[in-house]
Amino acid sequence: MKAFTQHLTFNTKETIEFVNVTEMIEKIVSESKVKEGLCLVSAMHITASVFINDEEEGLKNDFKKWLEEFAPSGKKYLHNLTGEDNAHAHLKRTIMGREVVLAITAGRLDFGPWEQVFYGEFDGRRPKKVLVKILGE
């Protein structure tokens, strides 16, 4: 079994932003030379997310609005009493998830229709890493 690891770094322009990373992940899978296996893509920060959904601008805006309803920024959270102001970002990350595991078949990501991989940022404008770990043959 082979193991292949790479890290991506994101520094978003917006505080809350969704970045389609599908092509980046596909390139890493190709570099790994793994033909059959699994690819883990995981946000390495507690205010960021990795998830799978459709690449559609309206949907991404719906996510932002929906997340803001569940975890509004500017609300008086207990976490913010520590000197932080990003409790909302921690909560949004919990809703959207930390990671995804993707199947690799015949050397390519094995997606369903419309599926794309996204990096979700909820407390942006500083560098954050994403782990890509590939295991297989």
Q: What domains can you pick out in the chain, each with its CATH number?
A: 2-73+84-136 (2.60.120.460)
Quote the CA–CA distance of 68 and 63 in Å, as a whole number: 8
pTM of the predicted model as reported, rounded to 2 decimal places: 0.95
Of the candidates 132, 130, 109, 134, the one whose C-alpha atom is nearest the C-alpha of residue 120 is 130
Flag residues of the chain having pLDDT under 50. none
